[in-house]
Structure 1
Amino acid sequence: MKSFAILAAVCSSAAAFAPQSAPAGASTQLNAEMSESVPFLTYPKGLKGYVGDVGLDPLNFSEYFDMKWLRESELKHSRAAMLATVGFVVQEFITIPGYIHVDDSNLGPTSVGVSAMLQIVFGMGFLEWKTNNGNITMENMFEDPERVPGNLGFDPLGYGKKMSAEEMEVMQLKELNNGRLAMLAIGGMIHHNWVTGDPLF
């Protein structure tokens, strides 16, 4: 009995050093393309082909949502944030006639009242509905496969018609990068003003 226990212990310790077969999918994981921006994560396939793609999708949104819808959302928030950062600064120096000047930009909505804020809500709601022909849900916004996210056909000076595809991609990347920066900037500006109560300038 004692010799059997010794033999079992020797065999089990030897088995620990024996090569084991790799689990299914291990070779695929080792050969997977890694993200450019987060090198320890695999490259999210849903981002491929989109302007501004650096492989940053740590929560895998592109795997669960329509990428066209995500890009449309990013562009809309970017454009709103770029306008907001400019407006946040301008309102410290310019006051619309008929309204009181406030240094604390977060008090702006209370100074103009509910009616002005509702004009923005309903005005932007109508614009959203109109630009999407009434299709405002994720399921039906991109029923038309030719529809390009963020392209509302607004080009009054005709710059887009004069650009090559490469030049247009450069401009789209500039808009996206500036928009991403503006989203971070307006968040910082609002919270600075909220925490300190002081104007930016």
Structure 2
Amino acid sequence: MKVALSLLALVASASAFAPSASLGASRSVLRMSDEEAAPEEAAAPAPAPAAVSSKATSVPCFGAAPFFGGNDIFVGKTEWDLLTTKWGSAETGTYLRASELKHGRSAMIATVGYAFHKLGLTLDNISPHEYLSVTQNIKFADLAAMNPVDAMKSLPVESWGQMFAAIAIIEIYEMTHSKGKLAYDETVAPGLQPGGLTGDLGWNPLKITVDDRRRLVELQNGRAAMFAITAWVSAECIPGSFPLPLPW
């Protein structure tokens, strides 16, 4: 009797540690469903990150010159991409475009002044004063008799200081103002913030609508003026250096 009870207890204990058929079946079903779903998941391609593509990371350049056939000429595209992606950011491109805009404006003013001097529209014919500097005995007529380059060289130090001060006032205004108002409540000046310098001074007394076409026209005129003033000064300082032979 004791032997029979011992055998029954041994069988019962063994059955307690044995997995049930239903549990094993459910586990096998789950395992099969996982194995069937795995190939589909593996076959699905992983989405490529959009930031890796060159089109997504490249910074568009405003001011590409339009050409015949609707195509745009973008001189220096490789350098632009390096300066705005690898070596800098989109804010770097904003600064570069603002720098080109300012240089173009300076060149346009220079070409107008240079042309006025060559055409005889000088201050000795306009100003009621005879002298530019009485203390240094510099007359407007003496400057008008020179070529524009020599006339600039003959200006006194005070004249150069006045020009520098006028440029500095404009630059400081852009550095410290935002939307036409002094940014006194900002800890960092607007011009020192990323992308803060744009060349837009907010000065538009004629209330002209400044759209992309007008911005492009200003850039193109500035580029032409930079070429013009460079050629004129080169021809004045180095005779025969102008690359195009003239028929007269």
How many angstroms does 1:32 deviate by? Answer: 6.9
The residue that corresponds to 1:15 in the other structure is none
**Could you list the per-position Cα deviations for residues 77-132 of structure 1 after superposition, in whole angstroms to 9, with x for gaps in the alignment?**
01111111111110121222332213421112233322111110122112211221
More strand by proportion, 1 or 2? Answer: 2
TM-score with structure 2 setting the length: 0.51
The residue that corresponds to 1:177 in the other structure is 220
Question: Aligned equivalents of 1:95 and 1:151: distance in 2?
Answer: 31
The residue that corresponds to 1:76 in the other structure is 102
**Could you list the per-position Cα deviations for residues 157-183 of structure 1 after superposition, in whole angstroms to 9, with x for gaps in the alignment?**
1112xx6xxxx1111111111111111
Question: Aligned equivalents of 1:61 and 1:183: distance in 2?
Answer: 22
TM-score with structure 1 setting the length: 0.62
* Structure 1: stretches of 5+ with no match in the other structure: 1-30, 34-43
Structure 1 position 155 matched with structure 2 position 204? yes
| Percent sequence identity over aligned pairs | 24
The residue that corresponds to 1:56 in the other structure is 75
- Partner letter of residue 115 of structure 2? V
Structure 1 position 87 matched with structure 2 position 106? no
**Structure 1 residue matching 2:176: 3-state secondary structure:** coil
The residue that corresponds to 1:107 in the other structure is 150
Give yes or no for contact 2:64–2:74 (8 Å, CA) kept in 1.
no
* CA radius of gyration, larger in: 2
Q: Which has the higher contact order (CA 8 A, sep 6+)?
A: 1
How many angstroms does 1:49 deviate by? Answer: 5.3
**Structure 1 residue matching 2:238: 3-state secondary structure:** helix
- Partner letter of residue 143 of structure 1? Q
C-alpha RMSD over aligned residues: 3.1
Give yes or no for contact 1:52–1:176 (8 Å, CA) kept in 2.
no
Question: Aligned equivalents of 2:197 and 2:54: distance in 1?
Answer: 29
Question: Aligned equivalents of 2:158 and 2:235: distance in 1?
Answer: 27
Query: How many residue pairs end up in the alignment?
Result: 146
* Structure 2: stretches of 5+ with no match in the other structure: 1-52, 66-72, 125-130, 132-139, 179-188, 241-248
